[in-house]
Amino acid sequence: MKHGKKYQDSTKLVDTAALYDTTEALENCLKTAKAKFDETVEIHVRLGVDSRHAEQQVRGAVVLPNGTGKTVRVLVFCKGDKVDAALAAGADYAGAEEYMQKIQGGWMDFDVVIASPDMMGVVGRLGKVLGPRGLMPSPKAGTVTPDVVKAVQEAKAGKIEYRLDKTNIIHCPIGKASFGAQKLQENFDTLMDAIVKAKPAAAKGQYVKSCVITPTMGPGIKINPGKFVPAV
């Protein structure tokens, strides 16, 4: 794969084979974020589990203390008084069957879907559309809940969902380059703490196999995975 001059210059600033501590990795990450836009900083964590087995799935949600820097559009499936309450809490859209029909017609102008439990019969019909995009509400992620107001507030505050992909890697944003190292560190620590605590009982051996941090347009920087050891 051919990379541009900025990327090649960025790779000279870091040792892509070295294992850094978190603070140094974040500082190097910010040095390599040279694009003309505010780059997103992401982490990619490979875990020593097998996602093909249900008892080794790792999935959850956490509110990042400094948010993600992204404006999140929230759709809530609910009825009655909850519609007004969800909109007052900051939801961009709230309703029932009318939104199911819009989505079936190709409308996708939202980033998070929340549903009250009584609406799952409606939302379930959208599984083939929402599921592959990672937008299907789930109780585990706190997006199927009777308290839609709290769920909306958390989504707007920077709640992110983490889950394993088929290659046993979790990919998550932890903020923007403009946040600076300290705020990114706080977000990173919060997310990694949640991932470590979510270790399945069935997981054996080293849990965090590798951890890489990267800006949108820069190289991946490896963090020493040895520091992420679950409490016994």
pLDDT in tens, 18-59: 899 999 999 989 988 888 899 999 999 999 999 889 899 898
| Model pLDDT, residue 11 | 55
pTM of the model as a whole: 0.81
Predicted local distance difference test score (pLDDT) of residue 34: 82
What are the CA-CA distances from residue 116 to residues 35, 113, 187 (Å)?
Answer: 41, 10, 28
pLDDT in tens, 131-140: 988 899 999 8
Phi, psi of 71 (to 5 degrees): -80, 120
3-state secondary structure of 55: helix
Mean pLDDT of 75-94: 96
**Which one, of 142, 2, 128, 126, lies nearest residue 60 by Cα?**
142
Which residues on neighbouring strands pair with residue 210, listed in sequence order? 46
Return the pLDDT at 3.
53
Short-list 177, 178, 187, 208, CA closest to 62 = 187
CA torsion 216→220→226→231, rounded to 10°?
20
Percent of residues, the chain, with pLDDT higher than 70: 94
All structural domains of the chain: 5-67+160-226 (3.30.190.20), 74-156 (3.40.50.790)
- Judged on CB neighbours under 10 Å (0-12, 13-18, 19+), 16 is exposed
Place 8 in a pLDDT band, splitting at 50, 70 and 90.
low
Query: Tell me: the pLDDT tens digits for 215-231?
Result: 988 889 999 998 887 76
| Confidence at residue 4, expressed as pLDDT on a 0 to 100 scale | 54
Does 2 have pLDDT greater than 80?
A: no
Contact indicator for 195, 184 with CB cutoff of 8 Å: no
Distance CA 30, CA 9 (A): 13
- pLDDT value of residue 203: 87
